[in-house]
C-alpha cells in the first residue's frame, strides 16, 4: 500500500471529526519522513512549500517543508487542526487578539521532531524553522481551510486570503479577498472631528 492510499484509508471515514478523532487519525498514519520526500520542494522565497495530500468535504492533509523565513501570524479560518513535526524543530508563537486590534504574542514554544500540537478554531499563531533546513510538518485540518486571515503587524492590517495563498501577506491582488486596517492593542479609537456650528 502506498502512503497516499494509507492516508485515504485513515482519513476518508472521518465525519464531523472531533479534535480527538483528528489527533488519533494523524497519529495512526505513522508518517515517516522518507514517505514524504517525493512531495517536498525547496523554497527560499516563501516561508514554506506546501502540498495537498488529501482533501474531502470533512478534512484536508497538507505537508509543508520550511525555509528560514517565518510565516505571518495567521488563523485557519473556520478550521481546527493538528500539526505534527516530522523532521527538525519549529518555534510556534501563540497570539491573542481582540476584535479590530492587532494580535499580541502570548508565548512561544519549541516543538521538536515527533511533537503534535493543536491549532484551535480562531486561534492565531506563527511558525518558523528553528535553525537548519530540515523542518517538515504535517497538517490535518477540519473542515478544509477557507478564509484564512493573515496579519501584517508592521502595517497594522489583516487580510483574508484566497486558498492559493499561504500564511504570508499576499503579493497578488487576486489573492486578497478582504483587507482590513487594525489598531494597535490598547490604542484609543480615533475621535470623530467635532462639527462646526
Please tell me whether 125 is known to bind a ligand: yes
Half-sphere exposure of 127 (CA within 13 A, CB side): 28
Do the annotations mark residue 74 as ligand-binding?
yes
133 belongs to an annotated ligand binding site: no
Q: Extract the annotated binding site for Fe cation.
A: 74, 76, 125
Amino acid at each position: 500500500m502506498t502512503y497516499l492510499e494509507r492516508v485515504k484509508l485513515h482519513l476518508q471515514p472521518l465525519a464531523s471529526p472531533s479534535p480527538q478523532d483528528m489527533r488519533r487519525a494523524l497519529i495512526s498514519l505513522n508518517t515517516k519522513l522518507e514517505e514524504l520526500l517525493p512531495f517536498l520542494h525547496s523554497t527560499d522565497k516563501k516561508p514554506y512549500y506546501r502540498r495537498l495530500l488529501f482533501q474531502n468535504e470533512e478534512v484536508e492533509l497538507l505537508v509543508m517543508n520550511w525555509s528560514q523565513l517565518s510565516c505571518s501570524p495567521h488563523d485557519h479560518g473556520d478550521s481546527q487542526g493538528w500539526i505534527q513535526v516530522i523532521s527538525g524543530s519549529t518555534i510556534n508563537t501563540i497570539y491573542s487578539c481582540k476584535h479590530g486590534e492587532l494580535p499580541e504574542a502570548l508565548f512561544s514554544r519549541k516543538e521538536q521532531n515527533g511533537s503534535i500540537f493543536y491549532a484551535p478554531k480562531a486561534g492565531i499563531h506563527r511558525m518558523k524553522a528553528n535553525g537548519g533546513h530540515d523542518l517538515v510538518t504535517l497538517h490535518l485540518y477540519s473542515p478544509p481551510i477557507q478564509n484564512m486571515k493573515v496579519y501584517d503587524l508592521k502595517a497594522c492590517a489583516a487580510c483574508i486570503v484566497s486558498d492559493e495563498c499561504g500564511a504570508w501577506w499576499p503579493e497578488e491582488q487576486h489573492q486578497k479577498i478582504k483587507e482590513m486596517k487594525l489598531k494597535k492593542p490598547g490604542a484609543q479609537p480615533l475621535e470623530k472631528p467635532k462639527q462646526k456650528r
